[in-house]
Amino acid sequence: MKYLITTAAVLCATAAWAETPVLKVYTYDSFVSDWGPGPAVEAAFEETCGCDLQFVGAGDGAALLARLKLEGARSDADIVLGLDTNLVAAAKETGLFAAHSVRADYTLPVSWSDDTFAPYDWGYFAFVHNTDMTAPTNFSALADSDLKIAIQDPRSSTPGLGLLMWVKAAYGDEANAIWSGLSDNVLTVTKGWSESYGLFLDGEVDMVLSYTTSPAYHLIAEEDASKAAALFDEGHYMQVEVAGKLAASDQPELADAFLSFMVSDAFQSIIPTTNWMYPAVTPTAGLPDGFETLITPASSLLLSPEDAAAARDGALAEWRNALAQ
């Protein structure tokens, strides 16, 4: 009898587990880290969905698309969260994404109209440094200096790709000359953002490719005002991070619910002090104290998804040739 009762209990538990729908979201590693938005987003969404939200870290942002291309329609993912405007054209070409129905009053610096990808945050790329040094004010000044920088690989990292687009948007046909000048400054190229930022914090490099919002983390979370982002005369390239639903998802309604939740106050209020970016929809309570201290670029640079896709191979070749010298 005891065996029968135990077996019945296991069967009931298994049935209950089987009835809980699972929503699987591919994203980048820092999103699902203990200090990233993932844990708080998971808890908040699961309170409303009656589901099991599972985040899967897949390296840095650009690695997400590579993994998805490899898996194709067989992918277990229902949603991919962490692509950006430099990758959405290539993502659409895969034919793996479905249209969404998200509606929101975005507070992005640019207008947004895309029926495949919905934005959840944005920011500007920048070189972060310690405040006890005089930072260069443009790429030419950086190239003329003895400063050592850490950047990310554009083939695996969205900030790395963003830097290529930044130089290309600012300098056009002169981008190759800028990269030639910067080659001596690049101490290392890491696969992802976390590795390079760690090198900066360890004092291995003078500056690191990151975001204008990165100093907010040190100021708010650590009460440390010793980090700043260098303001460049050329302007700063913008990143808009997005999420999209997979056409092959076996939980399409739940995926739609998550994307709608993504632009809600519950999700957006988590972003500033976990992902350390600007939310796509400003929360009701506004931005946290400390964000007002961040630099504001004089001009915003952003290539359209189509132009970014067209420029990518040429920009990558310029970068590889310069760093190989």
The residues, any chain, with a CB within 8 Å of residue 191's CB and separated by 6 or more, are: 59, 60, 152, 153, 156, 157
Label residue 287 by pLDDT band (50, 70, 90).
very high
Write down the pLDDT at residue 63. 83
Quote the CA–CA distance of 90 and 288 in Å, as a whole number: 35
Q: What is the mean pLDDT of residues 123-142?
A: 97
Q: What is the mean pLDDT of residues 226-237?
A: 97
Helix (H) or strand (E) holding 126: strand 117-130
- Does pLDDT of 10 surpass 80? no
Distant-in-sequence contacts of 318-322, Cβ < 8 A, 24+ apart: 318/164, 318/175, 318/176, 318/179, 319/154, 319/164, 319/179, 321/176, 321/179, 322/176, 322/179, 322/180, 322/182, 322/183
Write down the pLDDT at residue 289. 96
Quote the CA–CA distance of 249 and 141 in Å, as a whole number: 49
Quote the CA–CA distance of 107 and 272 in Å, as a whole number: 14
Q: What is the mean pLDDT of residues 251-275?
A: 98
- Give per-residue burial for 68-92: e unless 16+ CB within 10 Å, then b: beeeeeebebbbbbbbbbbbbbbbb
* Residue extents of the structural domains in the chain: 2-122+239-282, 123-238+292-324
Write down the pLDDT at residue 325. 63
Q: What is the mean pLDDT of residues 182-201?
A: 95
- Does pLDDT of 281 surpass 50? yes
> Tokens representing 6?
């135990």
Write down the pLDDT at residue 18. 58
pLDDT in tens, 296-320: 999 999 999 999 999 999 999 999 9
Domain at 2-122+239-282: CATH code: 3.40.190.10
Three-state DSSP state, 117? strand
Quote the CA–CA distance of 31 and 88 in Å, as a whole number: 19
User: What is the CATH T-level fold of the domain 123-238+292-324, as seen in this structure?
Assistant: D-Maltodextrin-Binding Protein; domain 2 (3.40.190)
Label residue 265 by pLDDT band (50, 70, 90).
very high
> Tokens representing 217?
């983390």
User: Rounded to an integer, what is the distance from CA 142 to the centroid of its chain?
Assistant: 25
- 123-238+292-324 shares the fold of 2-122+239-282: yes
Distance linking the first and last C-alpha atoms of the chain? 77
Quote the CA–CA distance of 259 and 282 in Å, as a whole number: 16
The residues, any chain, with a CB within 8 Å of residue 166's CB and separated by 6 or more, are: 125, 236, 237, 301
> Tokens representing 60?
């840095």
DSSP states along 274-324: TT-SEESS--TT-SPTTGGGS---SSEE---HHHHHHHHHHHHHHHHHHHH
Q: Which of 41-45, 104-108, 227-231, 321-325 has the lowest mean pLDDT?
A: 321-325
